């Protein structure tokens, strides 16, 4: 995924929220819920990565449910912080993996 972000506010942006949601059996919510209770989506299998200006971005889980994740992509890593300042634009890229057994048809 690629996102072009623009800070039109007056404060630096230090994080960006993404959502990952899966539905193995669309139109059959009870069946999907039962499937994910037995086989929850895990952080390890997602293998989430994110970059900004060639820098790796750390991330922090906000919500961790069986078939739904919300994650803050942080404008920082072990080398420092790189917030998006007012008036600036930046492209971020993030990727994750979901196998067919979890994604659906």
Please give the backbone phi and psi of residue 83, each rounded to the nearest 5 degrees, phi first: -65, 160
Q: pTM of this prediction?
A: 0.90
> What sections of the chain are H helices per DSSP?
29-38, 43-46, 100-103
With a cut of 50, list the residues of the chain below it in pLDDT. Answer: none
Question: 81-100 pLDDT, tens per residue?
Answer: 999 999 999 999 999 999 88
pLDDT given for residue 103 in this prediction:
82
pLDDT given for residue 79 in this prediction:
96
Measured distance CA(21)–CA(49) in Å, rounded: 17
């Amino acid at each position: 995924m690629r996102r072009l972000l623009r800070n039109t506010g007056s404060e630096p942006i230090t994080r960006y929220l993404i959502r990952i949601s899966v539905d193995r059996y669309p139109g059959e919510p009870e069946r999907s819920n039962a499937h994910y209770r037995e086989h929850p989506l895990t952080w390890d299998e997602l293998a989430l990565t994110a970059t900004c200006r060639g820098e790796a971005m750390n991330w922090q889980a906000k919500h961790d449910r069986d078939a739904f994740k919300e994650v803050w992509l942080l404008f920082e890593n072990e080398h420092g912080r790189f917030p998006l300042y007012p008036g600036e634009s930046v492209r971020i890229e993030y990727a994750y993996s979901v196998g067919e057994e979890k994604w659906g048809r």
